[in-house]
Structure 1
Amino acid sequence: MGGNHQLRDRHQGGTGCPPRRAHFLHGGWSIVTLDTEIKTLGKPSFPSPLRCRRFTTDDRRVLLNPFSSESTKDAPSFELAGPREMLFFDPQQSTAAILTAGGLCPGLNDVIRALVHQLHFNYGVPRILGVRFGFAGLNPVEGWPMIELTPRLVRHIHEDGGTILGTSRGPQPVNVMVDTLVREKVDMLFVIGGDGTLHGAMEIEKEIARRKLPIAVVGIPKTIDNDIDVITRTFGFDTAVTEAVEAIRCAHTEAESIVNGIGLVKLMGRESGFVAVHAALAEGDANFVLIPEVPFELDGPKGFLKALEERIKRRQHALVVVAEGAGQHLFKGEAKFDASGNRILGDIGLLLKKRISEHFAKAGIEVSIKYIDPSYIIRSVPANPNDCVFCVFLAQNAAHAALAGKTGMLIGSIHNHYVHVPIRTAVARRKKVDPDGPLWRSVLEATGQPEWMGCAG
């Protein structure tokens, strides 16, 4: 049941707009290959010391699509996560290292703490290192020596946002990072991060494999945007939606309290609009939700500004929620990129504020715009209880996988089951809101906004 499976993508363009991008697991036109094979370092030979003897085996799998019309044998599926009865590493003779990189996200400290507890208390791993400031901590030239993580040190860190280890963006020389792992006698490297960080982890694993070293690399996906492909959810997303709802509620209160008030909230979502969509649905008062996956134009009889004007004339207030990556085609000039290779986005929130103000001034309608960007506040808060529990599950299963010799993979959740996903598969594509799917249909029904504003559907 492992190996390569074929999935499908469909892309359809609209006249005068950037192409509509839909992400499908089944159906569509272009064929892509889904790799589900998990690498292992070798045959396990050490019995697990876990007192809870509820083990799982590598032949247990979770279907990607439980409603697949394919036979179970041919349908894409992933290896079930969980403790193995036999381990590749002798826990009492092993060293683990934990690294966090990329942007801040609620739950980072929760994952670090749960990893330390699982490795120390349940497996008896005697040495757990913390890599400081992301991949920079694996390059001696940067000057950030590792710290030893103990249960006492991590005792209360889950009560705070951020990461006790610090973080950074951008690559480091792969050969130097692997040299550091060898010098520190690291057997297992746990990498906590999003798309860019997981790409870095993948390169480290490749160099380790090239040298034929017995070092496991296991990822724990972290992205507020919830845009890691295949898996259902990433930690921090639930907290981000909860916090975003409060920002939207405040914007609605402001807009509703004055004549022709417009609340405008910009939320996270570089390429995927899941935070904006879920927060808008949860709060329930948004009139427009703008996301990267659904193109729109500002001007014209069917554009966003005309639709907003009609809303103001009809109800004397409006609430707009926009993901940070929406409407990037509205910005001109050469694209620029940050240290991690991410495109530097134009500020769609400020652009909308400016264009809305200009439009209504030209129409002779006085409006009051209340603009809120809570992004950095949301990134730095502690995880909510739901995310806290999720982080514990992810960390525990990551420890199980690494000690069993699994490598080049991450822990993900599919249909409430924890699975092993090859990193190369998870980062091959971004997960996106499907403009033809039930989630976006629910937004259209809840907001009443036009399906395509200024773009052909």
Structure 2
Amino acid sequence: MDSSIFSLHHSSPLIPSSSSISLRSPACCSASLSPPSNFSFFTPRLGFAPVSRRLMAAPPPASDGKAATTNGGVGHGLFKPKIVNGDYGYVLEDVPHLTDYLPHLPTHSNPLQDNPAYSVVKQYFVDVDDTVPQRIVVHKDSPRGTHFRRAGPRQKVYFDSDEVNACIVTCGGLCPGLNTVIREIVSTLYSMYGVKKVLGIDGGYRGFYARNTINLTPKVVNDIHKRGGTILGTSRGGHDTKKIVDSIEDRGINQVYIIGGDGTQKGASVIYEEVRRRGLKVAVAGIPKTIDNDIPVIDKSFGFDTAVEEAQRAINAAHVEAESAENGIGLVKLMGRYSGFIAMYATLASRDVDCCLIPESPFYLKGEGGLFEFVEKRLKESGHMVIVVAEGAGQELLSESKSMTDASGNKLLQDVGLWLSQNIKDHMKAQKMSINLKYIDPTYMIRAIPSNASDNVYCTLLAQSCVHGAMAGYTGFTSGLVNGRQTYIPFYRIIEKQNKVIITDRMWARLLSSTNQPSFMCPKLVAEKKKEMQTKTEAQPSGQLMDDGNTGADKKAANKEVKA
């Protein structure tokens, strides 16, 4: 506890002897009355509840009914982002902390200092001032740019091990590594912090109010990392903020770990805001899950490496089929609703692919420079070819494309693989050219497998970092890897946009060089893309190579610091 705080104990019959008055030194210029730890209050729905969950809450900030916005109008909900500006254009996009609205929470020594497993570690705890830069490639005159708080254990924690009642929920589609993350959250809470109460929420968000919970112990989760899927079950949709937070409050849950993609993290952000509005001592932490790797800021999402590795099997099968037949074509459809990372990396890793089609790079079928022309040329040269297409590619070409969405709000896509297969067959038939086309869709095989060794290690780091953050009192954050370092990222940065392949980047150029395919883009579209990138570059601070995610005001401040 802060050395400037003194406790005066009373024996008055009106005040229990366990109560205390906390006085801050004149430097703090404030005083507060702390109620006894065993004091309770009654609400019609909750009954008697510990005072620490509500009574000490700071009032929510005044609001005009509009969500606070920065970064060009991206909404961040009821509470403004924590932005810290430093020298030379340094910007810290900090994550919320329980003390932001519960300022008098007691602290406890971190149990890790007595953990024998950490006795050989040179430095137990992460320094409170450690941050990680979002961009590491800069010019000598560049501002330092955006940073995120470094993840890891802190010397002081804001939860006593015996008081922790944690829960874990998985939402959205399946992804390799889900069970590993669940296992490691439970193991970290038990083995590192001595927590004994961990609940699993069954069936996604709706499980908070419509399903039973599962008691999770190290014994229950011991071998689950060897299996695909999630032992907790999952679903899309079902997000009812009031019902979810009511359930959290009724069950006495004070740590919520939410595993899911961008839609799930949006839901987690709203849950955090409602928890904070009610003044509850509840840490809400997210772990980003998307097999497509379409979550921004972070280096990659867990399960992505496994997906790319497993996609090789499908590509290899397609290559064998194509090579074994006259004018053989192997067509493989991979995941990638809006982002073509799996298709791109699987193509680069395989070296057997002749053409890769992704959502970010439009293509056309007929005419000079079109896909049909390239297919004919490659078959005449090699006698076979392999095409990889991401599920979101070419959707604008499908005449029957509809605007229907699933429970998570994702647009329901047409099967571009079947559509492309049929169009290639029809075109070649019209050209009187015999082909042998095999179509492979390994989507659900890839989603359902266990994570590989690389992803298992990554899942462990994500889970441990998430638990360290929640125990340290951080909330409203996502744990993620930035430039090879584990960090805590505020929810709004994760959900403000989607991560996409930049087709003017060198990685896409490497793919084109590997496959020797044309860009399939008309010259007008290429010029528009280059102009768009040029506009973004000119809008950035002087010397900044890439967008660092700062708000316009932050960038101006950064430039001012550098000039000064």
TM-score norm. by structure 1 comes to 0.90
CA–CA separation in structure 2 for the residues paired with 1:67 and 1:196 = 30
Structure 2 equivalent of residue 287 of structure 1: 354
Q: Kindly indicate whether the alpha-carbon contact (under 8 Å) linking 1:48 and 1:86 is maintained by their aligned counterparts in 2.
A: yes
Task: Give the partner amino acid of 1:39.
Answer: P
| SS at 2:421 equivalent | helix
CA–CA separation in structure 2 for the residues paired with 1:447 and 1:100 = 38
Structure 1 equivalent of residue 495 of structure 2: 427
Task: Give the partner amino acid of 1:170.
Answer: G
CA–CA separation in structure 1 for the residues paired with 2:143 and 2:154 = 23
Structure 2 equivalent of residue 40 of structure 1: 97
Q: 1:377 offset after TM fit, Å?
A: 0.2
1:50-89 pair list within 5 angstroms: 50=112, 51=115, 52=118, 54-69=124-139, 74-89=144-159
List per-residue Cα deviations over 1:340-367 (Å, max 9, x = no partner): 0000011110110010000100000000
Task: Give the partner amino acid of 2:96.
Answer: K
Q: 1:91 offset after TM fit, Å?
A: 1.8
Find the partner of 1:93 among 158, 163, 166. Answer: 163
Q: Kindly indicate whether the alpha-carbon contact (under 8 Å) linking 1:196 and 1:340 is maintained by their aligned counterparts in 2.
A: yes
Correspondence 1:195 to 2:262: yes
Q: 1:439 offset after TM fit, Å?
A: 1.1
| SS at 1:178 equivalent | helix
Q: 1:453 offset after TM fit, Å?
A: 4.3
| Range moving further from structure 2, 329-338 or 216-225 | 329-338
| Range moving further from structure 2, 63-72 or 213-222 | 63-72
Structure 2 equivalent of residue 13 of structure 1: none
CA–CA separation in structure 2 for the residues paired with 1:321 and 1:190 = 36
Q: 1:163 offset after TM fit, Å?
A: 0.3
Question: For residues 189 and 410 of structure 1, do their structure 2 counterparts lie closer, same or farther at Cα, with a shift above 3 Å needed?
Answer: same
CA–CA separation in structure 2 for the residues paired with 1:452 and 1:167 = 39
Structure 2 equivalent of residue 149 of structure 1: 216
Structure 2 equivalent of residue 216 of structure 1: 283
| SS at 2:338 equivalent | coil
Task: Give the partner amino acid of 1:343.
Answer: K
Aligned length: 425
CA–CA separation in structure 2 for the residues paired with 1:344 and 1:419 = 33
Structure 2 equivalent of residue 249 of structure 1: 316
Q: Kindly indicate whether the alpha-carbon contact (under 8 Å) linking 1:298 and 1:454 is maintained by their aligned counterparts in 2.
A: no
Structure 1 equivalent of residue 457 of structure 2: 389
Q: 1:117 offset after TM fit, Å?
A: 0.5
Correspondence 1:311 to 2:378: yes
| SS at 1:407 equivalent | coil
Find the partner of 1:105 among 175, 178, 186. Answer: 175
Task: Give the partner amino acid of 1:410.
Answer: T
Q: Kindly indicate whether the alpha-carbon contact (under 8 Å) linking 2:180 and 2:456 is maintained by their aligned counterparts in 1.
A: yes
| Range moving further from structure 2, 309-318 or 350-359 | 309-318
| SS at 2:285 equivalent | strand
| SS at 2:454 equivalent | helix
Q: Kindly indicate whether the alpha-carbon contact (under 8 Å) linking 1:35 and 1:422 is maintained by their aligned counterparts in 2.
A: no
List per-residue Cα deviations over 1:287-312 (Å, max 9, x = no partner): 10000010111112221111111111
Unaligned 5+ runs, structure 1? 8-33
Q: 1:59 offset after TM fit, Å?
A: 1.5
| Range moving further from structure 2, 37-46 or 379-388 | 37-46
| Range moving further from structure 2, 327-336 or 198-207 | 327-336
Bigger relative contact order, structure 1 or 2, given CA contacts below 8 A and separation 6+?
1
Q: Kindly indicate whether the alpha-carbon contact (under 8 Å) linking 1:5 and 1:76 is maintained by their aligned counterparts in 2.
A: no
List per-residue Cα deviations over 1:141-188 (Å, max 9, x = no partner): x3x111110111111111100000000001322011001001111110
| Range moving further from structure 2, 235-244 or 85-94 | 85-94
Find the partner of 1:338 among 406, 417, 430. Answer: 406
CA–CA separation in structure 1 for the residues paired with 2:413 and 2:233 = 24
Question: For residues 453 and 67 of structure 1, do their structure 2 counterparts lie closer, same or farther at Cα, with a shift above 3 Å needed?
Answer: closer
Structure 2 equivalent of residue 413 of structure 1: 481
Correspondence 1:129 to 2:191: no
Misfit runs of 4+, over 4 Å: 4-7, 70-74
List per-residue Cα deviations over 1:253-308 (Å, max 9, x = no partner): 11011110000000000110000011111111111000001011111222111111
| SS at 2:220 equivalent | coil
Q: Kindly indicate whether the alpha-carbon contact (under 8 Å) linking 1:44 and 1:404 is maintained by their aligned counterparts in 2.
A: no
Q: 1:92 offset after TM fit, Å?
A: 2.0
| Range moving further from structure 2, 85-94 or 319-328 | 85-94
Unaligned 5+ runs, structure 2? 1-68, 73-90, 100-104, 527-564
| SS at 1:223 equivalent | coil
Task: Give the partner amino acid of 2:505.
Answer: G
Question: For residues 417 and 72 of structure 1, do their structure 2 counterparts lie closer, same or farther at Cα, with a shift above 3 Å needed?
Answer: farther
Structure 1 equivalent of residue 189 of structure 2: 119
Q: Which has the larger radius of gyration?
A: 2
Q: Kindly indicate whether the alpha-carbon contact (under 8 Å) linking 1:68 and 1:75 is maintained by their aligned counterparts in 2.
A: no
Correspondence 1:138 to 2:200: no
Find the partner of 2:292 among 206, 209, 225. Answer: 225
Find the partner of 1:363 among 425, 431, 438. Answer: 431
Q: 1:86 offset after TM fit, Å?
A: 0.5
TM-score norm. by structure 2 comes to 0.73
List per-residue Cα deviations over 1:355-396 (Å, max 9, x = no partner): 000010000000010100000000000110110111100000
| SS at 2:339 equivalent | coil
Task: Give the partner amino acid of 1:93.
Answer: E
